[in-house]
Amino acid sequence: MRREWSIARRLFVAHALFIVVLSGLVATILFVEARDRGYDETSNRMLAVATAIADSPLVLAASEAADPSTMLQPYALELTQDAGLDFITIMAPDRTRWTHPNAAEIGQDYIGAIQPAVSGTAFTEISTGTLGPSVRAVVPVTDAGDTVRALVAVGTTTTNISIALNAQLPSVLGLALALLASGSVGTWLLGRYLRRVTLGWGPEHLAQLFVYYDSVLRSVREGLVLVDLHGDLVLYNDQAATLLGIPPRPAAGSFERPQALTALSLPPSLGDLLRSGRNAHDEIHVTGTRVLVVNQEPATASGNAGARAEPMGFVATIRDHTDLQNLGSELQSMRTLSDALRAQTHEHSNRLHTIVSLMELGRTEQALEFATKDLELSQRLADEMVGSVDEPVISALIMGKSAQANELGITLTVTASGTLAQSGLSIQDLVTVLGNLVDNALDAAAGGDDPRRVSVTVSSTEQAVVIEVADSGAGVALDVIDEVLRLGFSTKGTGPVGGRGLGLALVRQAVTRLGGTLTIGRREGAVFTVTIPAIALPAAPLPAAADTTAAPTPPETLAAAVDHD
């Protein structure tokens, strides 16, 4: 199977080819520029030399002599050698040569253009003559009346210019090779960096992984959050957005800009955990409406065995345990009732032993009197509990708490008014609020001085349900009132994982969800007061009229019906 090239290798090959092409192009441009510059410089030099010769009085005087070659040939040969030229040709306006490096060419016609010079204008050109291709300048020789008396042609062959250009080729090639080498080194370094950050994967593989990972993120039932080293939220799935109450992720393929965690409305404890990057295992965090279990670990790239991988960020998984916590609260209520039954069983066992012992001793009347009084006491306690609270589940909860308080040596008093059944509130919510508040009060009273008391007051009206739980414990200090409802806070020193610091946080969550208020005061000890707005129950549907055409009901009959209802 063909091995897929990584992004780094593809970039290296593409960049290397680009550098080679660029180096060749730069070398060609430099060579052409040097060649053109060499021709221009040579043309200017030839023009300067030709102008200097044309201005010489000797040339003008010789042009008027009977045999100009005799005077000009030695002069031209000497200047050709001194100036490093290939030829100096002085000629008549009709092209007849008076001088030439090859004496046999004297008297012959000059090969090349002379028309501009005959008209009095100096010019340069590249032309082929008897010595081959050359760069030449032709300048007219004029007298005082501006009459052209002779022409001076000075030139050098292109072979000599090419030799000069070839001498510059090493520097041009050196520059191109330096460009190629530096570009290759830069490409190699960039490829090495990309190979490290992309883990050596190709673009097709990366695109496939992106599709797979995005599908996984959207399909898992747990919340998944990825935070970078700067404390910014880089990636999260739809379940995490639902659990944390943050905006949903954009569509697949859209660019996701990291979001600062401080800009999101996260619970303080959960925000601190995500920003800290510390390891967490099954930590409980309470939001306004949910109980979340969070795990967090560093996100590291898979490297060589034994090599320490540096974290690239931190990944947290979030599970919703709200329903499980509700079940736990119900289980705790059932456990409270079972503890009450156990306590009552223990008490009844002691009382039965007492009655049996009295009967064995022949004291039947005393045994009967003891049993009658015990029955009356138990019945009166049950009647008080059931009569004070009209909701059976709440009554059972309070009876269980009463038995628990009796075992702890705490006096529990309950006062109730109104009808809880007409409040429209969920029994589970009431059990969560009342049960946790009473448990907290029993713990506080158990650690206080005698007499140890807990009082519970439940008041239900058409507008709200008010629950007040007071204890005789040490109370809540003023400096920790704001912290006492936070998850994990406990005066007993253990956090929510150890079973402490969760009850009051759940109470606050339930009260907030129901739109109520929770206040903490002080009387003999701590006083917790919960006010929850009542929920209007739907009105019972009116019975359908048997006959819409029937005669209207007399007013007195309608009034009687309303009073009866």
Residues 128 and 272 both lie in one domain = no
Cβ atoms of 228 and 313 closer than 8 Å: yes
Q: Do 316 and 370 fall into the same domain?
A: no
- Do 133 and 239 belong together in one domain? no
Q: Say how many C-beta atoms besides its own lie within 10 A of residue 359's C-beta.
A: 13
For residues 121 and 223, state if they share a domain.
Answer: no
Q: Which residue has the higher pLDDT, 239 or 130?
A: 239
Domain ends where: 116, 141, 165?
Answer: 165
CATH code for the domain of 488: 3.30.565.10
Segment 294-323 mean pLDDT: 74
Q: Do residues 92 and 148 make contact, with C-beta atoms less than 8 angstroms apart?
A: no
* pLDDT tens per residue, range 529-559: 999 998 765 554 545 444 444 333 333 322 3
Q: CATH no. for residue 30?
A: 3.30.450.20
Of 222-226, 420-424, 507-511, minimum mean pLDDT range: 420-424
Please check whether residue 472 lies inside any domain of the structure.
yes
Per-residue pLDDT at 168 = 63
DSSP secondary structure letter of residue 307: P
Q: What is the 3-state secondary structure (H, E, C) of 439-486?
A: HHHHHHHHCCCCCCEEEEEEEECCCEEEEEEEECCCCCCHHHCCCCCC
pLDDT of residue 169: 66
- Whether 192 is covered by a domain: the verdict is no
Instruction: Give the pLDDT confidence of 372-414 residue by residue, as tens digits.
Output: 876 665 565 555 555 556 677 777 777 778 877 877 888 888 8
Query: Which region, left, alpha or beta, applies to residue 97 given φ > 0 means left and ψ of -120 to 50 means alpha?
Result: beta
Does a structural domain hold residue 1? Answer: no
Q: Please check the confidence at residue 469 and state whether its pLDDT lies above 90.
A: yes
Considering the domain boundaries, does residue 175 fall inside one?
no
pLDDT of residue 302: 58
Do 343 and 490 reside in the same domain of the chain? Answer: yes
| Residues 360 and 270 reside in one and the same domain | no
- CA 486 to CA 502: how far, in whole Å? 8
pLDDT for res 490: 52
Please state, in angstroms and rounded to a whole number, the distance separating the CA atoms of residues 117 and 110: 13
Summarize pLDDT for 234-292 with one digit per residue, the tens: 888 888 887 887 877 765 544 456 677 777 777 777 888 888 888 888 787 777 667 78
257 within a domain of the structure (yes/no): yes
Query: Are 427 and 292 within one domain?
Result: no
Per-residue pLDDT tens over the stretch 8-20: 667 777 777 887 7
Q: Are residues 411 and 497 in the same domain?
A: yes
Predicted confidence band of residue 340 (pLDDT cuts 50, 70, 90): low
Please indicate, yes or no, if residue 369 is contained in any of the structural domains: yes
Mean per-residue pLDDT over the chain, rounded = 75
Place of tokens 């001088």: 99
Residue with tokens 């009459």: 147
Angle between the 364-388 and 392-408 helix axes, to the nearest 10 degrees?
Answer: 130
Q: Please give the pLDDT value at position 499.
A: 41
Q: What is the DSSP letter of 254?
A: S
Residues 11 and 151 placed together within one structural domain of the fold:
yes
Residue 389 lies in a domain: yes
How far does Cα 17 stand from its chain's mean position?
Answer: 36
Number of domains the chain is built from: 3
Residue 421: DSSP 8-state: G
Domain that holds residue 291: 203-300+311-320
Whether 338 and 400 map to the same domain: the answer is: yes
Kindly list the distances between the CA atom of residue 363 and the CA atoms of 350, 360, 376, in Å, as whole numbers in the listed order.
Answer: 17, 7, 20
User: Which contacts of 233-236 are long-range, i.e. CB under 8 A and separated by 24 or more positions?
Assistant: 233/258, 233/259, 233/260, 233/261, 233/264, 233/274, 234/258, 234/313
Beta pairing partners, 126: 135
Mean pLDDT of 330-346: 65
Asked whether residue 455 is assigned to any structural domain, the reply reads yes
Instruction: Note the pLDDT tens digit of each residue in 145-179.
Output: 888 889 999 888 877 666 656 666 677 677 777 77
Contact (Cβ atoms closer than 8 angstroms) between residue 316 and residue 294: yes
Residues 371 and 294 in one domain: no
Cα end-to-end span (Å), the chain: 86
How does DSSP classify residue 250? P
Confidence category of residue 360, pLDDT binned at 50, 70, 90 = confident
- Using alpha carbons only, what angle is made at residue 480 by residues 477 and 481, rounded to the nearest 5 degrees? 85
Which pLDDT tens digit goes with each residue over 173-232? 777 777 777 777 877 787 777 777 766 666 667 776 767 777 777 777 788 888 888 878
Average pLDDT over residues 43-64: 86
Q: What whole-number distance in Å separates Cα of residue 267 and Cα of residue 261? A: 11
Q: CA 467, CA 403: separation in Å to the nearest integer?
A: 20
Whether 241 and 146 map to the same domain: the answer is no
pLDDT greater at residue 32 or residue 441: 441
